[in-house]
Structure 1
Amino acid sequence: MNDIVTTYLHTWNSTDQQARTTLLTEHWAPEATYTDPLAEAAGREAIGATIGAVHEQFPGFVFTQVGEPDNHHRQVRFQWGLGPAGAEPVIIGFDVLVTDEQGRIETVLGFLDKVPG
């Protein structure tokens, strides 16, 4: 399941729309859903648009893995950070990913742990 976390973060870090679409097509289920306190998206296209909006809001920021993932069955939870490359994350959260039978990301439930005031 560590590979799916890495792929997930690559998807979120992809600033090139075509590369992001390729990652979504290869590693996310067509009916995938994403929900966090600030966004709700259903389907690869809507998730891609959500990721694009984050890049517009936080240009130059990257997602990094914080700590080690915890997984069982077809689900994994992990903490992530968002901030300038090579710097301490400004935002920290954790996500729970659930995969489908083919190992593609099907459901993402996100939570925010640290958000600047």
Structure 2
Amino acid sequence: MGNNPYKNTWETYTQSWSEIDAGKRLQLFEECLSPDCVYTDPLMQAAGYEQLAGYMADLQKNVSGVSFVTTDFKSHHDRSLTHWDMVDGEGNRLAQGASYGLYGADGRLTQMSGFFDPPTD
């Protein structure tokens, strides 16, 4: 199958989680996310760029240098399932999880659902 366009879209989305510059993050969003996208995880739901960017900024404040590393990516029929590690700025793995993505006709993500064990403290 070669180059998977959904994988490129997903990796751009993944990159947006560690982008601290709001303007650059918005540029990444415009490449990979539908403006009316909906993000859900065990802790919250965000609709659209502004709410999602706020959630990402909060995570960046709480976890210095946070980023996500894709460990497995599979896709079919405008859907993807990704397994990932959340790492800190030193590369220490803090969490593992999975995410489900749904892609619109333009190839951008319309829904992203993250699955992980929420912090217990």
TM above 0.5: yes
What is the identity, as a one-letter code, of the residue corresponding to 2:53? G
What is the identity, as a one-letter code, of the residue corresponding to 2:77? H
| Structure with more of its chain in strand, by fraction | 1
Partner of 2:94: 90
Q: 2:41 aligns with which of 36, 46, 54?
A: 36
Unaligned runs of 5+ in 1: none
Aligned residues: 116
Q: 1:64 aligns with which of 64, 69, 90?
A: 69
What is the identity, as a one-letter code, of the residue corresponding to 2:95? I
Indicate the SS of the match to 2:55.
helix
Separation in 1, partners of 2:58, 2:118: 20
Separation in 1, partners of 2:64, 2:120: 16
Partner of 2:26: 21
Partner of 2:113: 109
Identity %: 24
> Do the aligned partners of residues 83 and 115 (structure 1) sit closer, same or farther apart at CA in structure 2, a change above 3 Å counting?
farther
Q: 1:7 aligns with which of 8, 12, 16?
A: 12
Contact 2:41 2:114 in 1 (8 A): yes
Matches within 5 A, 1:35-54: 35-54=40-59
Superposed CA deviations along residues 13-57 of structure 1, whole A, max 9, x for unmatched, are: 211111001111222101100000012100111111111111011
Unaligned runs of 5+ in 2: 1-5
Partner of 2:81: 77
TM-score by length of 2: 0.86
Separation in 1, partners of 2:18, 2:40: 18
Contact 1:92 1:114 in 2 (8 A): no
Once the two structures are TM-superposed, the CA of residue 2 in structure 1 deviates from its matched residue by 1.4
Indicate the SS of the match to 1:90.
strand
